[in-house]
Structure 1
Amino acid sequence: MDLQLSGRVAIVTGASKGMGLAITRTLLEEGARVVAVSRRGTPELDALAGPALVHATEDLMDPEAPARVVRRAVEAFGGLDILVNNAGGPPPGVTLPRFGFLTPNDDDWRTMFEFNLFAVVRAVRAAIPAMLERGGGSIVNISSGNARHPGPMNFDYNAAKAGLNNLTKGLSEEFGPQGIRFNTVSPGPVRTAWWTEEGGAADVLAQATGADRQAVMDKVAPEMMNLTTGRLVEPQEVADAVVLLASPRSASTTGSEYAVDGGFLKQV
């Protein structure tokens, strides 16, 4: 199926690995031109180098970074059609999961909201004028199943993602008539660096459960989270949903939330 993305200009945040890397790669394969945003490069991102890719080295904890990225896209490719706010999860230097409401302090809450909500607000604010100049566009925000599945861990992260869901719905109402579509993709647990890196979620849960880290990813975590598929989600599975929503083939889809979560969410 032709997704009609050839020549479109996209920004992808958190693009150096995991879901962001898969989204970037898929957009390039579909003929889009991409500004890939990350704090540092990776060999995997470097392997995608070419005339259709610009790597913007930015830290989204800097309030001015999103506006610089949008200017970079306009300067490099002449405009902006797609924004994928993928950067999120643990802020730089933070390890999740955190157990219990009393664990995060005020600074933890502020940092979590800065990375998972306020950075998105700034990116959207910067992107809207550029998209309106092109007659519209598509913005996809990466949320989490935990936004609608509260539990006794990661209270600050879950609340930030719930705010992101609400924000996306409101934006779709205001800017839909002007041609900008807003949608959310809510992954479940995805086999990314958040889980796999040394000291990441797999190691935290291994310590809590007494299992080894590989068993956590292959068996313990899917069972603990009651995943219907019995396995963690793969980054490419999220990327496929994101790129379809970014495409003009989804022109009547706005204000929606797509769960790519292995059956994590059970609510009707």
Structure 2
Amino acid sequence: MAGARSASAEIVALVDAGSVTFVATDLAAPDGPDQLVAEALERGRLDILVNNVGAVTPRMNGFLDVTDEEWFRSLTLNLMAAVRTTRAALPMMLEAGRGSIVMTSSVNAYLPSPGVMDYSAAKAALSSFSKALSMEVGPRGVRVNTVSPGPVHTDMWLGTDGIAQRVAQVTGSTPEDVAAGTASGSVTGRFSDPAEVADAVLFLASRRSGNTTGANLVIDGGIIPTL
């Protein structure tokens, strides 16, 4: 089951193939996570939760230009959506004595950037929350792990209103040059592919990582050399 405000082309293809049920819900709203989990439980048990809601807006004018509303929006999307969805799903996992929760964090949790300071702070909080929760619920059979991608070849980065486009508008560069400069900061010299992140999530969600909890899997092409 997948939940979002609207279905992407990839989700629509999975729905058409009969392998996914889509629930239209705003996971940034206080009642959105409860709605999604309730829909999942109507169709059976809940064994795996992947918290993948997130968004980032470049802050090219500096800290003093970031409003309270923008801070709260970042914290809601990148932290509270996962907190609320986890809170809704966890009781069933604890009752069953098993479950796997995977949080999508970011390298910016460990590599704070002034250009995305509110996003970095929210992702750092998400990573800390995930680690603390893993220590609480691990003895009861529920695993909690995170993946921390660097730049990924998605619309968030490379779309018509993506990060590269927004940065280019402010700097007078081109989206292609912004993307190339970002990719050059990694050892591999490229963005990650979405499938590479998805494979990492699948591994952490599966029984093949049955004794892995509280872990953070970084997928960044070597941008952060110390993790």
Place the TM-score, normalised by the shorter chain, in its bin: over 0.9
The 10-residue stretch of structure 1 (254-263 or 133-142) with the greater mean CA deviation from structure 2: 133-142
Displacement of 1:196 in angstroms is: 2.0
Q: Which runs of 5+ in 1 are unaligned?
A: 1-34, 91-95
Displacement of 1:267 in angstroms is: 2.1
The 10-residue stretch of structure 1 (67-76 or 127-136) with the greater mean CA deviation from structure 2: 127-136
Q: 1:168 aligns with which of 127, 130, 155?
A: 130
Displacement of 1:129 in angstroms is: 1.0
Displacement of 1:209 in angstroms is: 4.1
Q: Which runs of 5+ in 2 are unaligned?
A: none
Identity of aligned residues (%): 46
Aligned to 1:13: none
Aligned to 1:220: 181
Q: 1:206 aligns with which of 168, 180, 183?
A: 168
Aligned to 1:54: 21
Task: Pick the structure with more helix per residue.
Answer: 2
> Does residue 225 of structure 2 align to residue 258 of structure 1?
no
SS of structure 1 residue aligned to 2:103 = strand
SS of structure 1 residue aligned to 2:21 = strand
Q: 1:133 aligns with which of 77, 87, 95?
A: 95
SS of structure 1 residue aligned to 2:76 = helix
Aligned to 1:236: 195
Distance 1:213 1:153 in 2: 16
Runs of 4+ deviating beyond 6 Å: none
CA contact 2:130–2:214 (8 Å) conserved in 1: yes
Displacement of 1:80 in angstroms is: 0.3
RMSD over aligned CA atoms reads: 1.4
Residues 71-111 of structure 1: CA deviation (Å, up to 9, x unaligned): 111112x1100000011123xxxxx2113221211111111
Aligned to 2:115: 153
Displacement of 1:208 in angstroms is: 4.0
TM-score, scaled to structure 2: 0.94
The one-letter code matched in structure 2 to 1:145 is: V
CA contact 2:46–2:89 (8 Å) conserved in 1: yes
CA contact 2:11–2:20 (8 Å) conserved in 1: no
Please show how residues 77-116 of structure 1 align to structure 2 within 5 Å: 78-90=44-56, 96-99=57-60, 100-116=62-78
The one-letter code matched in structure 2 to 1:73 is: A
The one-letter code matched in structure 1 to 2:128 is: N
The number of equivalent residue pairs is 225
Displacement of 1:195 in angstroms is: 1.4
The one-letter code matched in structure 2 to 1:102 is: L
Residues 35-76 of structure 1: CA deviation (Å, up to 9, x unaligned): 111111233221112443110101112111111111111112
The 10-residue stretch of structure 1 (102-111 or 170-179) with the greater mean CA deviation from structure 2: 102-111
Displacement of 1:221 in angstroms is: 1.8
